[in-house]
Structure 1
Amino acid sequence: MLKKWCSLSFLLCWQVYAAQEPIEAVPLYTQAELIELIKKNQHLQRVKSDECQLVQDIEARAETMALPSYQFLYGDMLAYAVCVDRDVELGLYYMRSAAEQGLASALEQLGRYYDVGQLVQADKAMAITYLREAAAQGNLKAQLRLVGLFNQGHGSPRDYEDAYRWLFHSAVADKAQHKKIERALSQLAQKMPQSVVRRARLPM
């Protein structure tokens, strides 16, 4: 009956449906919530699952308020065409803006991009610059990739001690990840004097 009546009066039908199923506004993410989503690499999926309702708010917080977590989110949205038209150059601009403000996830991602040549030209020296900053903040992905680059012969031996120290003192519950760290550290230790390795193992 409702369907038949709807065909007679679209406007009244829409008002009835609106009254029956009120649209709930999606709350904007807090800084802490967004950073956790970024750490778990769930930030883009969250924007999609929220049906792209927050695009204007995200853009405003990235552009006007210059919040690093929102700059990172908006940069990724632009780079991968999530709820917005794709603009890799602008996306990288916002990622770099977030990195310049010290957001570890942005530093790690840019370091990874420069390492593998994703969205940018591969540049191991630039990768190490970004990864070192992220690793110093305790970002495990950055620490592992940084040690990996050193083990491949990139970078300066002067940075080995810090890289070893950060990764050695990282807390990892996953056994497979723990074994991966052990192998990386063992390989890096072969490039270092034993006295430096012992010093890097001292409590931080």
Structure 2
Amino acid sequence: MRRLAVLAIVLFWCSPVALAQVSTTELQVVQLYTQDELLQLIRQNQHLKRVKADDCQLVKDIEARADIMKLPSYQFLFGDMLAYGVCVPLNVERGWDLMLSAANQGLPEALEQIGRYYQQGKFVQKDLTKAQHYLFEAGSMGNLNAQVRLAELLLAGVGSPVDYETVYRWLHHSVTADKNMHQRIQKALAGLGGKMPGAVLARARQPL
């Protein structure tokens, strides 16, 4: 009976059905994200959902690219995973360090998130001066979320009127299909425009 059972197992794994099952499993292996794909996921705030949707299969690869290769996009991703405990044990301190490293390498999405966290007091003590610094850096690199947040800070009395023209120019020439973002931009432009002299306002509206 034991020989028959062993023979049945051998025949099963050599059968076309078994081979098809193995092939199907191999086809389901998740490929690591390209830089462009990962950045798009980050911009859409879908990066953590994607890691979870991929059943946490890529954690080791993500960690290697963050810690060994020090790629800023992967530092941002792995840092966010650690900060929220997504597919890894929660480690806010290490997560923050990785996100800060990505920001210091000039990743606009990381700069915006660090600025936003300083603005909100999330994971760190609230610091609007630091928030403004990081948001301005991200905004100067074209990050629309940072530009809008910076405008809202200026309208709340944080920062210098010297920045009104620059931030107004960014938003005046911005493009977005997001209706909520469009409304925030319009509100920010109206607020900043009301604080600027006519000549400065006209200059900020000039074509780039």
CA distance in 1, matches of 2:176, 2:51: 29
Give the partner amino acid of 1:80.
Y
The 1-side partners of 2:46 and 2:18 are apart by 31
Distance 2:119 2:78 in 1: 22
Question: Which aligned pairs between 1:2-17 and structure 2 lie closer than 5 A?
Answer: 12=9, 16=13
Q: Does 1:168 align with 2:172?
A: yes
What amino acid maps onto 2:65 in structure 1? R
CA deviation after TM superposition for structure 1 residue 177, in Å: 3.1
In structure 2, the CA distance between the partners of 1:174 and 1:76, relative to structure 1 (3 Å rule), is: closer
Structure 2 match to 1:21:
21
User: Whose radius of gyration is greater, 1 or 2?
Assistant: 2
Question: Following the alignment from structure 2 to structure 1, what is the Cα–Cα distance between the partners of residues 108 and 162?
Answer: 22
String of CA shifts for 1:3-25, please: whole Å, max 9, x gaps.
xxxxx88xx59x85975532332
SS at match of 2:135: helix
**CA 80–174 in structure 1, closer or farther in 2 if over 3 Å, else same:** closer
Q: What is the alpha-carbon distance in structure 2 between the residues aligned to residue 18 and residue 120 of structure 1?
A: 53
Quick check: 1:102 aligned with 2:111? no
TM-score calculated relative to the size of structure 1: 0.89
Shift in Å, 1:84: 0.5
Distance in structure 2 (CA, Å) of the matches to 1:19 and 1:73: 36
Rounded to whole Å, the distance in 2 between the matches of 1:20 and 1:174 is 45
1:114 is aligned to: 118
Give the residue type in structure 1 aligned to 2:73: S
SS at the partner of 1:166?
A: helix
Residue 142 of structure 1, CA deviation: 0.7
Shift of 1:174: 3.7
Instruction: Give TM-score scaled by structure 2 length.
Output: 0.87
Matched, 1:80 2:61: no
What percent identity do the matched residue pairs reach? 57
Distance 2:202 2:173 in 1: 13
Q: 1:34-56 deviations in whole A, cap 9, x for unaligned?
A: 00010111111111111111111
Task: Name 1:4's counterpart in structure 2.
Answer: none
Q: Which consecutive residues of structure 1, in runs of 5 or more, have no partner in the other structure?
A: 1-7
RMSD across aligned C-alpha pairs, in angstroms?
2.0
Cα distance between partner residues in 1 of 2:18 and 2:42: 34
Give the whole-Å Cα distance in 2 for the aligned partners of 1:144 and 1:133.
Answer: 13
CA shift in 2, pair 1:130/1:34, >3 Å? same
In structure 2, distance between residues paired with 1:149 and 1:120 = 18
Equivalence map 1:181-196=2 (5 Å): 181-196=185-200
**2:45 alignment counterpart:** 41
The one-letter code sitting in structure 2 at the alignment partner of 1:56 is K
1:198 aligns to 2:189 (yes or no): no
Size of the aligned set, in residue pairs, is 195
